[in-house]
A = this chain, B = another copy of it.
Amino acid sequence: MKVTVTTALTTATLVFACGLMGTAHAQTQAAAAASQPPAPPPAAVSGPQALLDASPASHWRRLDPQYTLYMDLPQGRVVIELAPSFAPAHVANMQIFAREGYWSGLEIIRAQDNFVVQWGDAGEDLPGEPHKPHGSARSKLRAEFEKSSDWLRDNGHPFVALPDSDGWADEVGFVDGFPAARDKRYGLTWLAHCYGMVGAGRDNAPDSSTGAQLYAVTGQSPRMLDRNITLVGRVVQGMEILSSIKRGPPPMGFYTDKAERTPILSARLAEQLPASERVHLEILRTDSPTFMQLIEMRRNRNDGWTVRPAGHIDLCNVTVPTRTARAQ
């Protein structure tokens, strides 16, 4: 049992707050209403945001335009970082789909509550709807469920382990910004189905995915899917768009009313757009000391609100900070 008891502290650092009710104070910079306890005095610069603000530029990285997918929806842009180190064949196919405009004009065809949204060609699943040709993309790929841990380490993709226990795997942590898990005995590493992870839909055959039809996790992390389907990347901006899309009918959320599907205006690699039309993001390096300090702040919160810090964090409760890039 890792739970430790501490007394509440008087400093409040609420930028990453999980506080409820009183936290509106931090957002509005307003005083508490009369019936509420008075707000604490402004906090010393000691919380997660201060840590990030003080972090060196070398702890951040920019997205690679050839491995960054923009999916533009009527509600705004969803930015997906691809994971070529884990799913090279799927990512290569997805680059072809993007360059050939495959997804443009297709739709979000499924939104199952507390699970996933899924997009692509409705005609792949639903007879009677037109089936869009896949162009130059390969029609058959190998399943890319896991990688050799040694290969990842030897090729510049080290595993940064968390000390926290996990029910699904021997060890969990991060590789290149992606949540991941490992089997020590067999020396295997795989991406983990946390919120915002993007995978390639497949049929019953393990090698039936092509990267044409994709899903993003919008609910409680379905880690039972780990090692059962190929994950290809992670949404780094715009999850609030995907997560708030109206759910389709139960049990699985495929829209039967076509009017409820969300159209994909375009889905292109960042490199296909001029610099002026790109989103310039920086992601905190998950192999940086800042990231580990940040996780420790979440594991043992000292925010003026938490009475009993958990002393633990689950892999999928860790958020990797993203910010707008500073001037180049």
Give A contacts to B, CB under 8 Å: 1-3, 8, 12, 14-28, 30-37, 40, 109-111, 113-116, 118, 123-127, 131, 139, 145, 164-170, 183-185, 194-196, 199, 201-206, 208-209, 213, 215, 219-229, 239-240, 243-247, 249, 251-252, 254, 256, 298, 301, 304-310, 312-314, 316-317, 319
Contacts and interface: CB of A to CB of B under 8 A. Distances in A.
Contact of A201 (B17, B21, B25, B239): B21
Contact of A36 (B109, B203, B252, B305): B203
A98 B41 CA distance: 35
22 contacts: A3-B169, A8-B204, A14-B252, A21-B124, A21-B201, A21-B209, A21-B213, A22-B201, A22-B208, A23-B254, A24-B125, A27-B256, A30-B125, A33-B124, A34-B131, A36-B124, A113-B243, A219-B243, A221-B314, A224-B313, A240-B247, A243-B244
A240 B250 CA distance: 10
Contacts of A124: 21, 33, 35-36
B35 A139 contact: yes
Contacts of A254: 23-24, 27-28
A244 B194 CA distance: 19
Contacts of A115: 18
A243 B243 CA distance: 8
A322 to B, nearest CB: 11
Contacts of A1: 169-170, 183-185
Contacts of A23: 252, 254
Given A165-B167, A167-B165, A204-B12, A316 B25 contact: no
Given A1-B169, A24-B109, A113-B240, 11 more contacts: A20-B215, A21-B118, A22-B125, A22-B208, A24-B110, A24-B254, A25-B125, A30-B126, A167-B167, A220-B316, A224-B317
Given A17-B251, A27-B254, A33-B127, A223 B317 contact: yes
A275 to B, nearest CB: 25
B220 A317 contact: yes
A184 B1 CA distance: 9
A126 to B, nearest CB: 6
B127 A18 contact: no
B165 A224 contact: no
A223 B184 CA distance: 27
